[in-house]
């Protein structure tokens, strides 16, 4: 039997693909959050980091393509498995439906998944493609001139004097809109719930879970998801409440100072 065909056709094969792509995405969202938290430092940090990513060129595209394939396979497997499972119940549903041991997160995987997918599309349109809020997209903002050399673990990201996109201002202006921020918070909340079952489940699917440490696994997943949610909440939360204010001299600071009352007007093109 051809390996790939089996993985895409059999029940356990599809679950395995779902678990692998899920694991890749968990890795990605973790790294993505850590990168984004640099918004709380000087603008040089996140702008230098974004510049570095952009400068990867074809490598960046390879990574993007790989992640897109992962999302596509994950969603395809979710739909295929769900349709098969629906059909498997047979012509008649139970009159009384009871949950006995399933965790709450596990009961809403499809719902949380769909909201996350909708959010993902919006999020890419917002910060990657620039079609959701073209007025505050990085290419529409004045460019940022690096004040210092930016380094990560000693690795140079951007040099002093480099002229780069002002991602820092884009994020501040984007999240100044309460609707955008609240959708973001709801979506990352549901993503955290999705991952709460997902992380537990993927170990079972790959065959690495047993009663000996299943309790620990659930606790680790819970702590991870809480930390992930709080980390993500911090960005729109701090911007929306004004706890985090854009650094003096940035475009976002000028723009928000010009219209402090109606923050949402700042995002109008």
Partner 1 sequence: MVAEHSVKKNFSVTLRVWRQAGPNQPGKFVDYPATDISPDMSFLEMLDVVNDGLTKIGDEPIAFAHDCREGICGTCSCTINGKPHGPGKGIATCQVYMRSFGEGDVIVVEPFRARAFPLIKDLVTNREAFDKIQQAGGFISVRTGAAPDANSIPVPKEDADLAMDAASCIGCGACVAACKNASAMLFVAAKVSQLGLMPQGQPERDKRVLAMVKTMDEAGFGNCSNQYECSAVCPKLITHDFIARMNRDYLAALFRSNFKPVSGASDGGA
Closer to partner 1 at the Cβ: 86 or 262?
A: 86
CA 268 to CA 254: how far, in whole Å? 15
Only one of the segments 41-49, 70-78, 208-216, 252-260 lies at the binding site for ligand HEM (rule: CB under 6 A); that segment is 70-78
Closest CB to ligand HEM among residues 211, 261: 211
Q: Residues 58, 98, 248, 262: which binds partner 1 (CB under 8 A)? A: 98
Residue placing its CB nearer to ligand HEM in the complex, 110 or 160: 110
**Using CB under 8 A, which of the segments 106-114, 143-151, 226-234, 243-251 binds partner 1?**
106-114
80 or 147: whose CB is closer to ligand HEM?
Answer: 80
The residues in 185-214 that bind ligand HEM, with binding defined as CB under 6 A, are 191, 194-195, 198-199, 201-202, 205
Binding partner selected for residue 41 from partner 1, ligand HEM, none, CB under the kind-specific 5 to 8 Å limit:
none
Task: Give the C-alpha distances (Å, rounded to integers) separating 85 from 77, 81, 197.
Answer: 12, 6, 18
- 67 makes contact with ligand HEM (CB under 6 A): no
Binding site for partner 1 (CB under 8 A): 1-3, 6-7, 10-16, 81, 84-103, 106-107, 109, 197, 200-201, 203-211
Binding site for ligand HEM (CB under 6 A): 15, 18-19, 22-23, 25-26, 29, 71, 74-75, 78, 106, 109-110, 113-114, 116-117, 120, 191, 194-195, 198-199, 201-202, 205
């Amino acid at each position: 039997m051809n390996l790939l065909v089996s993985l895409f056709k059999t029940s356990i094969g599809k679950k395995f693909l779902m678990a692998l792509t899920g694991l890749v995405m968990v890795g990605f969202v973790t790294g993505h959050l850590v990168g984004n938290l640099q918004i709380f430092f000087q603008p040089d940090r996140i702008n230098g980091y974004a510049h570095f990513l952009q400068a990867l060129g074809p490598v960046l595209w390879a990574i993007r393509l790989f992640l897109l394939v992962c999302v596509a396979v994950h969603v395809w497997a979710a739909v295929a498995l769900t349709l098969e499972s629906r059909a498997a119940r047979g012509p008649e549903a139970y009159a009384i439906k009871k949950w006995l041991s399933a965790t709450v997160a596990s009961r809403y995987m499809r719902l949380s998944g769909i909201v996350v997918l909708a959010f993902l599309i919006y999020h890419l349109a917002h910060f990657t493609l620039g079609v959701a809020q073209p007025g505050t997209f990085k290419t529409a903002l004045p460019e940022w001139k690096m004040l210092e050399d930016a380094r990560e673990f000693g690795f140079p990201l951007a040099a002093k004097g480099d002229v780069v996109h002002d991602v820092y201002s884009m994020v501040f202006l984007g999240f100044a809109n309460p609707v955008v921020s609240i959708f973001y918070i709801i979506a990352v909340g549901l993503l955290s719930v999705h991952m709460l079952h997902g992380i537990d489940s993927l170990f079972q699917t790959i065959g690495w879970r047993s009663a000996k440490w299943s309790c620990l696994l659930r606790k680790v997943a819970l702590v991870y998801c809480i930390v992930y949610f709080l980390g993500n909440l911090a960005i729109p939360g701090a911007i929306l409440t004004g706890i985090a204010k854009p650094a003096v001299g940035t475009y976002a600071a000028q723009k928000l100072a010009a219209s402090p009352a109606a923050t949402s007007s700042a995002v109008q093109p």
